[in-house]
Amino acid sequence: MNTTLALYANYAIYSAIAVLTLAMLAYALYLSRAVPARGEVRDREVVMAGGGPGTAGASPSESATPVETVNAGARWSGVGLSFSTLAALLIGASLLLRGLAVHRPPLGNLYEFVCAASFFVMVGFVGWSRRRDLSWLGIFVVTPVLLMLMLAVKAFYTEASALMPALQSYWLSIHVSMAVISVAVFTLGAIVALLYLLVDRFERAGRAPGWARVLPGARDLERTAYSFHIVAFPLWTFTVIAGAIWARQAWASYWNWDPKEVWSFIIWVVYAAYLHARATTGVTRQKATWIAVAGFSCIIINYTIVNMFFVGQHSYAGT
């Protein structure tokens, strides 16, 4: 093992945490200074009030801008995206250095899993931001990723080392990498789902705080959350199937009622219930979305409590 590369990998993660903190502050400044376009604010207020065109009073932004969106925090949005991009590169560099240090994919324990999932969340957000203006989403993505990395460093950290014999298989790259990507997409879906529930509540109440007025409407948020889950669910399905195949090779059985296996299946069932509820006419979008939130709660339980405190064939992944 190359201890120097392993040390540099740690430095890269520490740097990513610092940069994500700056990104979070930049996006917070954006939200505090962002002002929606006059027409957008008026239309949102009409929707909230349940009235028709012309029933809402002039918004505070009308005197500041006639037509175009005036965004006093636009500069901070760009700063936040730049820091987010740098953070993604630093996390990726850390994973690369750690992999080179131990001559294996950096997917052998919970610390590496969380770092890899954080990387894909950031890559997804930054890549999506290159196609659409997602300034409104920035703080809601970088903050959870920052917390994930801090938790990884403080609670899940494991010294770089060789894999135990049970993990020395090409299925590690297939099964675990797919689990990482699935969790990353589920994370983005959960973030947007929670924003949908929040904005929907504001719209039903007929009022919203200033920062919430830069968010898309509840309907658009719900559709976006659904799109993320549509992508993540088959990826998670493949993860479970690949895990069963690997279990057959490693332990001579496709299913062993291991706590991690059971919770992985529970996650699959909950998200299947969400997709079914979403397609069922009699179930409201709010209720269906709460099922998706429950699914992500199961993911958190699976990768924290189950990994750390339940004894089973996946116990090696907890440290």
Number of domains forming the structure of the chain? 2
DSSP state of 60: G
Longest dimension (CA), the chain: 72
The Cα–Cα gap between 185 and 260 comes to 20
Flag whether 67 is in a domain.
no
- Domain identity same for 189 and 319: yes
In this structure, the answer to whether residues 173 and 159 fall within a common structural domain is no
Q: Are residues 85 and 181 in the same domain?
A: no
pLDDT attached to residue 36: 56
CA–CA separation, 42 vs 319, rounded Å?
A: 53
pLDDT tens digit sequence for 21-64: 999 999 999 998 876 543 444 454 444 444 444 444 333 333 34
Q: What is the pLDDT of residue 54?
A: 41
pLDDT attached to residue 166: 72
Residues 40 and 11 in one domain: yes
- Give the residue from 171, 165, 183 showing the smallest Cα distance to 118: 183
Q: Phi, psi at residue 34, to the nearest 5°?
A: -70, 140
Cβ–Cβ < 8 Å for 239, 264: yes
What is the per-residue pLDDT for 55? 40
Which residue in the block uniquely carries the two structure tokens 């509840």? 218
239 with 294, same domain? yes
Alpha-carbon distance of 276 to 284, in angstroms, equals: 12
Residue 68: the pLDDT is 40
Distance CA 9, CA 207 (A): 47
Spatial CB neighbours of 16, under 8 Å, sequence gap ≥ 6: 87, 90, 91, 94, 149
**Residue where a domain terminates, one of 114, 137, 163:** 163
Same-domain check for residues 183 and 287: yes
This model's pTM is above 0.85: yes
Crossing angle between the packed helical segments 177-205 and 38-49, to the nearest 10 degrees: 70
What's residue 313's pLDDT?
Answer: 63
- b vs e for 228-246, b when ≥16 Cβ sit within 10 Å of the residue's Cβ? bbeebbebbebbbebbbeb
CA distance 257 to 170: 23
Task: State the pLDDT at residue 16.
Answer: 99
Mean pLDDT, 10 residues at a time, over the chain (319 residues)? 95 99 96 62 47 41 38 82 98 98 94 98 97 95 98 94 83 95 98 97 89 92 98 98 90 86 97 97 95 98 88 58
Amino acid identity at 140: F
Q: What is the pLDDT of residues 203-231, one digit of tens each?
A: 999 888 888 889 999 999 999 999 999 99
Give the domain extent around 147: 1-62+73-163
**DSSP character string of 122-138:** HHHHHHHHTTS--GGGH
- pLDDT of the residue at 85: 98
